Chain A
């Protein structure tokens, strides 16, 4: 990661896991921890499992019937509204947020007023889905070094988001995807400036069907991310 803030490190991040799992604590601490987690597979797994435990604990709370008429009052509030649009808006927030975290863009955290909810939303996106539907892979440069990351999310809709920080080139990258059944599809164009850029799109194939994401552009190094191994990068 190319953050201008020192990395928090695994030990300090582990100290904050409970607060991350509950979505509480000072915003700067959580931002620093999430930044570390974006680049550390071990801590990412740790957060997933701790969050899983914390969320399961909630289901142990004693049941109690609400006051009579509760159901009608809730249904009245649900009203004649289309849920889909709202879902999509939230998904986009989650996309932007996850992407920001993936690049280590701290500023997003600092300018966000409703930070606690966003942290919770990020965490939910990760593990609501229990980590099964979201995966992050390293984009490798020709010399084998890390050129960026691609985050893929399996959902409605599914999407991928790519962030690059490599070299100093500028120009359009063609983004292509190879599927496990051998098809190739052009997804779109990612513009880079000074070697950096980010871009995302919805995809109409299951994430599990992706074999490789490839980026090529005139005068730009060829980059690719393999989706073979399950382990997040």
Chain B
């Protein structure tokens, strides 16, 4: 790496490491595995990124998406047992003192969802379970899971004010 690249890489890692590692450890639940996942996420993200502009305030969405995908792969390889979303739900409920990412509306929207909608959404989005796997694990009919996820996501979309069919 040229020295400018190295500086940018260091700034990139420093800036997002607690978010990447935080997501990874919340999903995989093990610090050693989470570090592997987080390292790999940065390596892939850095190679994927054409440019990194440190002036941008937000976490690049794709960085967290990569982290999630790697975390899901990791739990599929390492554990096969039932996934308990409760620690993640508790973590999501804990509003950070400062919310620099403007995610307040979404967090509030998520917390307002009935638990039977919130749980399957978290199992799907964070843990990468299929609707079939959620139905099996939660003991709920498949059609019901699909409906709950769909309704819940529609409410969150409204909370964020992003487009819907009517747009």
Q: Would you give the 0/1 interface string for B94-123, flagging 1 where the beta carbon is closer than 8 Å to chain A?
A: 101000010100110010000000000100
Q: How far is the CB of A43 from chain B (nearest CB, A)?
A: 10
CB B74 to nearest CB in A, in angstroms, measures 14
B65-101 toward A: CB 8 Å interface, digit per residue (1/0)?
1011100100000000000000010011010100001
A25 CB-CB contact with B under 8 Å:
yes
By secondary structure, the B interface counts as: helix
CB <8 Å contact, A65 and B18: yes
Give Cα A66 to B68, complex, Å.
16
- Once the chains are docked, how many angstroms separate the CA of A125 from the CA of B129? 22
Which range contains the number of A residues in contact with the other chain? 35 or more
Evaluate contact between A75 and B13: CB separation under 8 angstroms: yes
CB contact list, B1-16 vs A, under 8 A: 1, 5-6, 9-10, 13-14
Minimum CB–CB distance from A94 to chain B (whole Å) comes to 11
Interface size class on chain B is 35 or more
- What 1/0 flags go to A44-80 for Cβ under 8 Å of B? 0110111011111111111111110011011101111
Beta-carbon nearest neighbor of A120 in chain B? B69
Q: Does B56 contact A (CB under 8 A)?
A: no
Does B55 interact with chain A (Cβ within 8 Å)?
no
Partner of B149, one of A18, A48, A52, A156: A18
A19-B130, A61-B23, A81-B1 given; A50·B47 CB < 8 A: no
> A19 contacts which of B1, B124, B165 (Cβ < 8 Å)?
B124
Count of chain A to chain B residue pairs whose CB atoms are closer than 8 Å in the complex: 185
How far apart are B39's CB and chain A's nearest CB, in angstroms?
A: 5
The answer to whether A23 and B69 have CB atoms under 8 Å apart is yes
Taking a contact as CB atoms under 8 Å apart, the answer to whether A55 and B64 are in contact is yes
Q: Which residues of A contact B146 (CB under 8 A)?
A: 15, 18
Supplied contacts A53-B160, A70-B39, A74-B17, 6 more A-B pairs, CB within 8 Å: A18-B149, A26-B130, A56-B106, A58-B61, A63-B22, A74-B43
Supply 23 A–B pairs (Cβ within 8 Å), ascending by A.
Answer: A17-B153, A18-B131, A19-B130, A22-B68, A22-B125, A25-B132, A53-B106, A53-B160, A54-B124, A55-B64, A58-B67, A59-B58, A60-B92, A61-B19, A61-B23, A66-B18, A67-B35, A71-B14, A78-B43, A79-B1, A83-B46, A87-B50, A90-B48
Q: Which residues of A contact B (CB under 8 A)?
A: 14-15, 17-19, 21-26, 42, 45-46, 48-50, 52-67, 70-71, 73-75, 77-81, 83-84, 86-87, 90, 117, 120, 124, 128, 155-156
- B interface residues with partner A (beta carbon < 8 Å): 1, 5-6, 9-10, 13-14, 17-19, 21-23, 25-27, 31, 34-35, 38-39, 42-43, 46-51, 58-59, 61-62, 64-65, 67-69, 72, 88, 91-92, 94, 96, 101, 103, 106-107, 110, 121, 124-126, 128-132, 146, 149-150, 153, 156-157, 160, 162-165, 167
